[in-house]
Chains A and B, each alone.
Chain A
Amino acid sequence: MFQIIKKEEMAKGTIIRFDIAAPNIAKKVKPGQFVILRVNDTGERIPLTVADKDEFAGFITIIFQVVGKTTALMRSLNVGDMIKDVAGPMGKPADVEKIGTIIMVGGGTGVAILHHVAKAFKDAGNYVIGIIGARDKDMLILEKEMAGFCDELVVTTDDGSYGLQGFVTDPMKKYLDERDDIKLIYTIGPIKMMHFVCKITEKYKIKTMVSLNPVMIDGTGMCGGCRVTVDDKIQFCCVDGPDFDGHKVDFDELEKRNSLYQQDEKESLLFSIR
């Protein structure tokens, strides 16, 4: 059993932040890794990327968007409540080293993970340019935290209610046009967004890492539900990823698989409402 020790609602309650007491995982988890969580005995196993940790206090931070039955159930939990199972860390950590200037591009809830990885890149001595986007001002998360360590930070909203109006790819393109010292793009967000980012950076021939978060059950390489085609080979996000070279990922396949599961998600939520 894992206790929730802090809860924070973000983006008008559509995104939730939990600090969960999990000392063993907190000791081990590195930026980019995730945990598998099961709320109760009848619950499903869902993967959630770790947004932060405190190994001394022994907790991990997860930030999730309420999209389905399980996340809706999780929103109803409060400080002191228990989560039945948290297993991890899972996946390979992000490959963080000192390489120079990098752009970190995050969208939606992806910013939660992005900020953990971005901080690590900054700590490794890189010049970090952050670009984060959201649908509107209310949906924007972790701006302050990102601003705290990014050397430059650009915020975009789809409707222009805050920051620049447009998509994260607009300022990214501008940077790529203006600067020639960018060594790496690291992006996390909706699959469509990551796909766009990769399409653009491919033209500039700049290495781009994406962090994928598809449906999975066990998170240990057992089920193959999280398979994705990378460089024409089947890879499992849970054990071979979640980070992959974005230029080699078959995004068309990934989007199709993902859209199918989103329908399942809606049905599952419908059942929970009944």
Chain B
Amino acid sequence: MSHEDIKNMKSKTFLKTYCPHCHQSFIKDTKGEKWAKFKSSIKQNDLEVEISPYLEASDRKFSIPVKDGDQLEDLICPKCNKSLISEESKCEECGSAIGQMLVSADSKLIPFSLCTKAGCQWNGLSKADIRKITPKIKRQEMPEQDPKMRVHNFDEVPYGYTTETAMLEAERCLQCKNPKCVDGCPVNIDIPSFIALISEEKFDEAAKKIKETNVLPAVCGRVCPQESQCEELCIVGVKEEPVAIGRLERFVADYERKMDLVSMPHIGSKTNKKIAVVGSGPGGLTVAADMQLLGYNVTMFEALHEAGGVLTYGIPEFRLPKSIVNFEIDYLKKMGVRLELNHVIGQTLTVDELLENFDGIFIGVGAGLPWFMDLEGEYLGNVFSSNEYLTRMNLMKAYKFPEYDTPKPIGNKVAVIGGGNVAMDCARTAIRTGAKEVTIVYRRSRTELPARIEEIHHAEEEGINFKLLTSPIRYFGNDRAAVKAMECIQMELGEPDSSGRRRPVPLENSNFTMDIDMVIVAVGTGPNPVIFQTTPNLKRDKRGYIVVNEETMETSIPNVYAGGDIVTGSATVIEAMGAGRIAARAMHQKLSGAATKTKEEVVGVS
């Protein structure tokens, strides 16, 4: 094996080394650091040699002073006291004697040699060798609450990885030099680095690595659609299942929080500039964190009585525990972000008024106006928008009625219209609050379901029915004006539409009626009009969303930025965070640049 091979090796590979005679490990753990330990001597002085077991960390420690070029007289196993020196071969680099040991990459042991000349390089394995002896590790599953049990509670469904499963999963990462996964992440988390830290058991460092680019890892690890982002591009995924990046992200974030290792970040030198963040959802939280870290004074305005936006009112407890959301918001508050609840921007304060008091504004109000389908009978009682249903259940805790005052919507036979994550959330909430039969009614086929695969899977496990290629056309009410049935029509898939998905076409004479007593309409949302009613000069596109410069997220009003669903229409948590990050960077550039300019102007005048 040559040095070329070493260069090809997976960087920072952990080499578990064993004695070829007694098969005991050389690795010693001292104060959290791992070293391979040997006995030796130089000029008849006994010597202890410690060598880093990580590739590229070519540190060697000697218990007596050793100069580069000194020759170790022997290399001896500290456990069985036998010599490791090979009689057949010499160092390829310098011709000195080499010590032979066994290196394990899990189940297989192969010979490995080490030069006895102090300062000479390791002789190592080629990357291909490593691959050969690395047994394939399957993608690690997360243990989950049993479906039969969980339909009776709101506790989180997956329990998350243990340290053991996380480290096994981390070993599956190839540490690509040109990692594709990073490109798939809207905030470009340094995925290989944080995974490498996991395999080195440095979980809190891994969490901090993620936090360099993502302020909400515990949230994103749970709700990101990884299968269509980072994990979709994972090279391991070409031949087998991709590395479970999302689960690992969740693991380190949970580890950091549960082990109380979260520490306050370094906050940049304070400026006297003030930033207003409108909306405390994922986009707003990202901008608030980034700008506060850069030394700005951030005030976050929230219309509701609790912060978190969709993380609080939308995503149910069993998918994203509110304690996690609250923890993240408390963290921002500890960083110095001011939070003003019950402030409806556009009403309580207008954007113009904010501009008088703040140097930069970020609008991240989401797309919170629910769409209905304009069907006959949609006004009936027990026909809810997904927003109303989820807001009652999550924000107002109606599932705990009567402990909480907001009445719990009750249905025995529930139809959820739509096939996205929100539809799954509604269906799974309904089954948990006593519905006997819950059916997802979706107009396209299974392959087009926009929800995360994991959510569809969870819903199926919990006994949710799927009525695909079906669309409601009319609702019927009882004498109390509550919905009692719905008429549906079956669809078939026609030509692809502008979104690339095949357009559903109604099948003639396929109408049928379903008995139901509750309908949840989860067919998407549009832009909320409140902020625009008092900000007519904010430029919007044809669909009503805010127009921004995509490089900076700045709107038609200078120093007013926007991002998230209010710019793109309904999208994901992480995309809103990505937009927030771009906006924060641009805002900082503009505001700090402007400051320098002012200074120059001042100098020029004097």
**Given A221-B530, A224-B370, do A43 and B348 touch, yes or no (CB 8 Å)?**
no
B551 within 8 A of A: no
Is B541 engaged at the interface, CB distance under 8 Å to the other chain? Answer: no
A217 to B368, CA, bound (A): 13
Identify the stretch in A83-91, A113-121, A126-134, A162-170 within 8 Å (CB) of chain B at 4 or more residues. Answer: A83-91
Which A residues contact B (CB, under 8 angstroms)?
24-25, 28, 38, 42-45, 69-70, 84-90, 92, 217-225, 227-229, 234, 236, 239-240, 250, 253, 256-257, 259-261, 263-264, 267-268, 271-272
Known contacts A28-B347, A87-B305, A259-B481: A271-B381 contact under CB 8 Å: no
**Bound complex: CA A133 to CA B208 (Å):** 66
Chain A: minimal CB distance from B260 (Å): 26
Find B379's partner among A84, A86, A253, A264 (CB 8 Å cutoff). A253
Q: Which residues of A contact B342 (CB under 8 A)?
A: 85-87
Inside 8 A of B396's CB, which chain A residues have their CB? Answer: 44-45, 217
Contacts of A225 in B (CB 8 A): 384-385, 388
Complex contact A268–B405 (CB within 8 A) = yes
Taking A28-B348, A45-B396, A257-B481 as contacts, is the C-beta distance between A85 and B305 under 8 angstroms? yes
> A-B contact count, CB below 8 Å?
134
Q: Cβ of A240: which chain B residues have Cβ within 8 Å of it?
A: 529
Contacts of B143 in A (CB 8 A): none
Task: From B382, B407, B480, name the one whose CB has the most chain A CB atoms within 10 angstroms.
Answer: B407
Q: Which residues of B contact A228 (CB under 8 A)?
A: 379
Which B residues are CB-close (under 8 A) to A69?
A: 405
- 23 of the cross-chain contacts (CB-CB < 8 Å) are A24-B348, A24-B349, A43-B405, A44-B404, A45-B406, A87-B344, A87-B348, A217-B395, A218-B304, A220-B303, A221-B368, A225-B385, A225-B388, A239-B529, A239-B533, A240-B529, A250-B379, A253-B379, A256-B379, A256-B481, A257-B481, A259-B480, A260-B481
Instruction: With A38-B305, A44-B405, A253-B379 as known contacts, state yes or no: A224 contacts B372, CB within 8 Å.
Output: yes
Alpha-carbon gap, A9 to B415, bound state (A)? 45
Q: In the complex, A229→B403 CA distance in Å?
A: 34
Query: B407: shortest Cβ distance to chain A, in Å?
Result: 5
Contact A224 B481 (CB under 8 A): no
Q: Which of A92, A234, A260 is the one whose CB lies under 8 Å from B372?
A: A234
Contact check, A220 vs B388: say whether CB atoms are below 8 A apart: no
Whether A42 contacts B405 in the complex (CB less than 8 A), given A87-B303, A87-B305, A260-B482, comes out as yes
Asked if B168 lies at the interface with its beta carbon under 8 angstroms from chain A, I say no
B residues 355-391 with Cβ under 8 Å of A? 368-370, 372, 374, 378-382, 384-385, 387-388, 391
B348 lies within 8 A of A222 (CB): no
Q: How distant is the Cα of A229 from the Cα of B477 in the complex, in angstroms?
A: 16
A263 and B304 CA atoms in complex are apart in Å by 27
Is B235 among interface residues, defined by CB-CB distance under 8 A?
Answer: no
Question: How far apart are the CA atoms of A83 and B349 in the complex, in Å?
Answer: 21
Q: How far is the CA of A228 from the CA of B378 in the complex (A)?
A: 10
Q: How far is the CA of A2 from the CA of B530 in the complex (A)?
A: 24
Query: Using Cβ atoms and an 8 Å threshold, which residues of chain B touch A257?
Result: 379-381, 481
Restricting to B314-367, which residues have a CB under 8 Å from any CB of A?
341-344, 347-349
**4 extra A-B contacts, CB within 8 A, seeds A90-B344, A256-B381:** A42-B405, A223-B385, A224-B369, A260-B480
Q: Are B404 and A42 in contact (CB under 8 A)?
A: yes
3 tightest CB-CB pairs across the interface, nearest first? A256-B481, A260-B381, A223-B388
Q: Considering the complex, which residues of chain B in the window 387-445 have a beta carbon less than 8 Å from any beta carbon of chain A?
A: 387-388, 391-392, 395-397, 401-407
Q: Looking across the interface, which residue of chain A has its beta carbon closest to that of B398? A: A44
Determine the distance from Cα of A149 to Cα of B393 in the docked complex, in whole angstroms. 45
**B402 / chain A contacts, CB cutoff of 8 Å:** 268, 271-272
In whole angstroms, how far apart are the Cα atoms of A252 and B346 in the complex? 33
Check if B378 sits within 8 Å of A234, measured CB to CB.
yes
Residue contact B403 to A42, C-beta cutoff 8 Å: yes
**CB-based nearest A residue for B346:** A220
From B380, B481, B528, A222 is in contact (CB under 8 Å) with B528
Residues from chain A with a CB closer than 8 A to the CB of B344 are 87-90, 219-220
A218 touching B381, Cβ below 8 Å: no
Q: How far is the CB of B505 from chain A (nearest CB, A)?
A: 25
Question: Whole-angstrom distance between the alpha carbons of A45 and B398 in the complex?
Answer: 12
B348 in contact with A223 (CB, 8 Å): no
Which chain A residues border B369 with CB–CB below 8 Å?
A: 221-222, 224, 236, 239
Q: Enumerate chain A residues within 8 angstroms of B347, measured Cβ to Cβ.
A: 28, 88-90
> Is A92 within 8 A of B348, CB to CB?
no
| Given known A-B contacts A42-B403, A257-B381, A224 and B305 have beta carbons under 8 A apart | no
A38 CA to B396 CA, complexed, in Å: 10
- Tell me which residues across on chain A come within 8 A of B388, comparing CB atoms: 217, 223-225
C-alpha gap A239/B374 in the complex (Å) = 18
One of A70, A90, A260 near B405 (C-beta < 8 A): A70
Residues of A within 8 A of B370 (CB): 222-224
B5 to chain A, nearest CB (A): 61
Cα–Cα distance between A28 and B534 once the two chains are bound (Å): 12
Flag B268-306 by CB within 8 Å of A: 1 or 0 each: 000000000000000000000000000000000001110
Please indicate the chain A residues that have their CB under 8 angstroms from the CB of B341 in the complex: 85, 87
CB pair A220 B368 closer than 8 Å: yes
Say which residue of A222, A234, A260, A261 sits within 8 Å of B387 (CB atoms).
A222
Contact pick for B407, options A219, A239, A264, CB 8 Å: A264
Q: How far is the CB of A253 from chain B (nearest CB, A)?
A: 4
Contact call B480/A88, Cβ cutoff below 8 A = no
CA distance A69 to B303 in the complex (A): 24
Residues of B within 8 A of A236 (CB): 369
Cα–Cα distance between A267 and B405 once the two chains are bound (Å): 11
| Beta-carbon contact of B348 and A89 below 8 Å | yes
Q: A217 touching B392 by the CB < 8 A rule?
A: yes
Looking at B347, B382, B406, B481, the one whose CB has the most chain A CB atoms below 10 A away is: B347
The closest CB in chain A to the CB of B482 belongs to: A260
Which of B372, B403, B480, B529 interacts with A221 by CB under 8 Å?
Answer: B529
Q: Are B533 and A222 in touch, CB under 8 angstroms? A: no
Chain A residues near B305 (CB, 8 Å)?
38, 45, 84-85, 87
Indicate if the CB atoms of B303 and A218 lie closer than 8 Å. yes
Check if B348 sits within 8 Å of A25, measured CB to CB: yes
